[in-house]
């Protein structure tokens, strides 16, 4: 069944896309299920957009080396900013603004933050569009089958990230505050390391 094949393919893609997954886990651990799940919806929306762009054939545009370099620099800068925000947050210092679409609603802020992080992640842009485009060519699917396969792929994002959210919420209940702070610092450093390696990596 094409939907299940798309679901399996999407799960494999999620295993390869790291920083957003780490951020969702951190969000769930520190802010609870609803905030993280708002982020999951944001990730799913952006992945849906990139899959749609792949179907439209925009992969030829991102193969341009100058375009790829621009994506990597801008995306890595934003990821580094998120990493620093997590680290400084351990000491109560906030550098990311609370973007509340409704008064007192932190969920909307989480949604916007994850939307920005996912949209700017160079690995998501280059990897997801490129790989999905190659998969379409490889399997030689018609438009109807492509849509079914794509729906399975996007569903995998929602399922996988929701599982990460649940793990993050459970971890918060059993992990002491000191260990959580160490984990937060590690997550922040991991995001910064990811961003730097992507910029320095030669194509």
Which tens digits make up the pLDDT trace of 41-55?
999 998 888 888 777
Return the residue matching tokens 């995998």. 156
**Which token pair is 31?**
């802010």
Give the residue ranges of the chain where pLDDT is below 50. Answer: 99-104
d(CA 192, CA 87): 10
Q: What is the pLDDT of residue 104?
A: 47
The token pair at 89 is 């947050």
Domain boundaries, the chain: 2-200
Burial of 108 from C-beta contacts in 10 A (0-12 / 13-18 / 19+): middle
- Range list of H helices, 57-176: 59-62, 65-89, 106-120, 122-123, 129-139, 143-174
pTM reported for the whole predicted model: 0.74
Query: Can you tell me which residue has the tokens 């999951």?
Result: 40
The per-residue pLDDT for 100 is 47
Confidence at residue 70, expressed as pLDDT on a 0 to 100 scale: 73
Helix (H) or strand (E) holding 182, with range, is: helix 177-200
Residues 107-132: tens digit of each pLDDT: 777 888 888 888 776 666 666 666 66
């Amino acid at each position: 069944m094409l939907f299940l094949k798309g679901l399996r393919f999407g799960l494999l893609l999620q295993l390869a896309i790291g920083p957003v997954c780490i951020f969702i886990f951190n969000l769930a651990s520190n802010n609870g299920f609803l905030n993280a799940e708002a982020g999951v919806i944001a990730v799913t929306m952006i992945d849906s957009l990139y899959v749609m762009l792949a179907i439209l054939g925009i992969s030829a545009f991102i193969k341009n080396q100058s375009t790829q370099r621009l994506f990597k620099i801008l995306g890595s800068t934003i990821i580094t900013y998120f990493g620093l925000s997590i680290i400084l947050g351990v000491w109560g210092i906030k550098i990311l603004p609370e973007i509340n679409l409704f008064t007192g609603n932190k969920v909307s802020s989480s949604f916007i933050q994850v939307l920005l992080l996912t949209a700017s992640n160079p690995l998501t842009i280059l990897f997801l569009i490129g790989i999905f485009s190659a998969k379409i060519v490889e399997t030689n699917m018609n438009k109807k089958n492509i849509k079914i396969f794509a729906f399975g792929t996007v569903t995998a994002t929602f399922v996988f990230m929701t599982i990460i959210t649940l793990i993050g919420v459970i971890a918060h209940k059993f992990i002491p505050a000191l260990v959580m702070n160490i984990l937060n610092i590690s997550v922040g450093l991991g995001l910064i390391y990811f961003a730097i390696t992507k910029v320095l990596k030669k194509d």
